[in-house]
Structure 1
Amino acid sequence: MARHRTAADQFEGKRAVISQLTSALSRALLVALLIATPSLLLPSTEADTAQVVVVLAFLASVMTFIEYYGRYPSIIEFRFAPPFNRLKFIGLAATVILLSLICRGKTDPTGLTVLLTNLGTGLGEAIDFPYSPVRLVVLMMPADADLELVSLVRTSAGISYMVSLLMMFVFLTLVRIFGWPARNGAFNVWVNLPLFDPTGGGDVLHRLKRDAGLNIVLGILLPFLIPAAVKAASTLIDPISIANPQTLIWTMTAWAFLPASMLIRGIAMGRIADMIEEKRRRAYARAEAEADGLQRA
């Protein structure tokens, strides 16, 4: 009986290793494919650019494989609290693919690229009002920039910003309606927050709330601060270089995705803080009830 149990345990262990290896490889391939997507979709890519993309895709895939093949995470947060990272990856991939197709449509138009361009143009014009993030991105361009380039920047900004807003809306729905992450079972704070040091000083609950507020504030301000910073540094960085499709795609993606990612992280950390606070409240109430029972006895 013990021999059969040992064999079954060994089989389960091997299956777990194979499953983890397959999962890490698939994620690494997806990350590499994401980085290479603009080069694959754009009709023409320079040889130097292609070489840089290959190197970056390889490095990113190796780092992803190492991170997900390890038993415990070292950098990636909320690894055991799906679909946090999956949602972020889907939002990032959707932005890159949509912008790549829009840029491709400038030279090789198809029905899909025309549809996406019209959609992005409509979104960009709808959000392009005074002091809006899209207006600041447009104003980031030099005064003598080509009108077609300005229109493309507005279109890209509109569609990337809407994807980021949709990503945040989906995550808020998961938190408020579906009870993320408690619905997935027990939540281990220290495993899912590898960069959070519980011994850093001060109450953990206070630090989580502080970090959550900081991420939310930065996530709200970054879409406004990034164009302003680029405009202020225009003497060193020429914004007209955004005419390169690869530069345009990754610039607009970073401009929309990074603030949304910080907002989602802030919401997630706030949710974890609320869970810890609720658990403490229940523990205190239970302790008080037990103390009252002992006093009555």
Structure 2
Amino acid sequence: MPAVALPGGADMAQITALLALVAALLTFVEYVGDYPSIIEFRDAPPFNRLRFLALFATVAWLTVICRGEIMPTALTQTLDSMATTIGHWLDFPFSPVRLMVLLATDDMGAQEVARLRSHAGLAYGMAMLSVLVFVLMVRLLNWPIRRSAFNFWVNLPLFDPTVGKDVLYRLNRDGNVNVALGFLLPFLVPAVMKLASQTINLVSLAEPQTLIWTMSAWAFLPASLVMRGVALMRIAALIEEKRRRAYAQAEAEVQTI
């Protein structure tokens, strides 16, 4: 979307469209096939749908804002003002948004710094909203067993329950690690980028396409990790509950005999 809607050369748009078609084909094959390969929680909606919609909405919003700088309309101005407000709300001391704003170089003007703040605030705000929505779905809507049973092999094809320690221990461990990384990465990534500023050209953040994808990846990779961690801990809780019922039933049968 940014390559098509924003000026950046026809070659860039064609390459991006080709990559998008390849990704769409791989996703289609993954969901149509009977046997899973790499995509997790394929049959546990709306986990993947929520992540896709949140990322799509953020990229589309940021793209419209950047396009409004060239072709301003009432819609682009409204979205820009909303993003600016969100950016100021989240730009407080020691926040991830403040750390991203501190990446601004001396070569950037006030308008470019404001764009960096609004894009970072919007992306991080949307990421936090997606995590909150998923947690509410887990707590209130009994995800993922509200409508059907949870197939462990189909939804976690890369997780081998027969290897290593007990599956509950591994699920809870992986879940905690994912949640911890999800909370730490928004703080660590700006620090690493700042330390690597000698080799990384941070001035490229002034380019709209680079800024959009950088902010989107910075915000939604940690959000995806948090959501995956919450999902794994939820699966562990379901398995533990099923074990408890099975042990209670077996004990009741023994007492009856």
SS in structure 2 opposite 1:183?
coil
CA deviation after TM superposition for structure 1 residue 182, in Å: 1.1
Residue in structure 2 matching 1:68, options 10, 31, 37: 31
User: Corresponding residue for 2:86?
Assistant: 123
Which blocks of at least 5 consecutive residues in structure 1 are unaligned?
1-36
Aligned positions of 1:118-267 closer than 5 A = 118-267=81-230
User: 1:202-241 deviations in whole A, cap 9, x for unaligned?
Assistant: 1011000000000000000011111111111111111110
Residue in structure 2 matching 1:114, options 56, 74, 77: 77
Structure number with greater CO (CA < 8 Å, separation at least 6) is: 2
User: Corresponding residue for 2:5?
Assistant: 41
User: 1:180-212 deviations in whole A, cap 9, x for unaligned?
Assistant: 011021111111001111122110110000000
Equivalent residues of 1:81, 1:184 under 8 A apart: no
Amino acid aligned to 1:39: A
Q: 1:143 to 1:45 in 2, by over 3 A?
A: closer
Equivalent residues of 2:183, 2:222 under 8 A apart: yes
SS in structure 2 opposite 1:201?
coil
Residue in structure 2 matching 1:269, options 232, 235, 241: 232
Q: Distance in 1 between matches of 2:65 and 2:211?
A: 11
The CA RMSD over aligned residues, in Å, is 1.1
Q: Is 1:279 equivalent to 2:242 in the alignment?
A: yes
- Fraction of identical pairs, as percent: 56
Q: Distance in 2 between matches of 1:77 and 1:184?
A: 18
Q: Distance in 2 between matches of 1:223 and 1:171?
A: 19
Equivalent residues of 2:107, 2:203 under 8 A apart: no
Give the greater-gyration-radius structure (CA): 1
What TM-score, normalized to structure 2? 0.97
Aligned positions of 1:48-67 closer than 5 A = 48-67=11-30
CA deviation after TM superposition for structure 1 residue 138, in Å: 0.5
Larger mean CA deviation between 251-260 and 195-204 belongs to 195-204
Q: Distance in 1 between matches of 2:188 and 2:40?
A: 25
Amino acid aligned to 2:29: I
Give every structure 1 segment of 4 or more consecutive aligned residues whose post-TM-superposition deviation is greater than 6 Å: none
Q: Distance in 2 between matches of 1:149 and 1:73?
A: 44
In the alignment of these two chains, the number of paired residues is: 257
Equivalent residues of 1:74, 1:194 under 8 A apart: yes
What TM-score, normalized to structure 1? 0.84
